[in-house]
Amino acid sequence: MGILIDSSVFINVGRSGMDLSTRIRGREEEATFLSVVSASELLDGVHRARTPKQRAKRLAFVEGVLAALPTIEIDVATARSHAQLWAELSLHGMRIGVNDSWIAATCLTHGLRLATGNVREFERIPGLEVEKWI
pLDDT tens, residue by residue, 35-55: 999 999 999 999 999 999 999
What domain range is 32 assigned to?
A: 3-132
Predicted pLDDT at 20: 82
Local structure of residue 51 (DSSP, 8 states):
S
Three-state DSSP class for residue 111: coil
pLDDT computed for residue 122 by the predictor:
95
Residue type, 4: L
Could you give the number of structural domains in the chain? 1
User: 3-class SS at 28?
Assistant: coil
Single-letter residue type at 115: A
Residue 94's CATH number: 3.40.50.1010
The three-state DSSP-derived secondary structure of 83-101 is: HHHHHHHHHCCCCCCHHHH
Task: Identify the pLDDT of residue 29.
Answer: 86
Within its chain, how far is the Cα of 37 from the centroid?
7
Prediction pTM value: 0.92
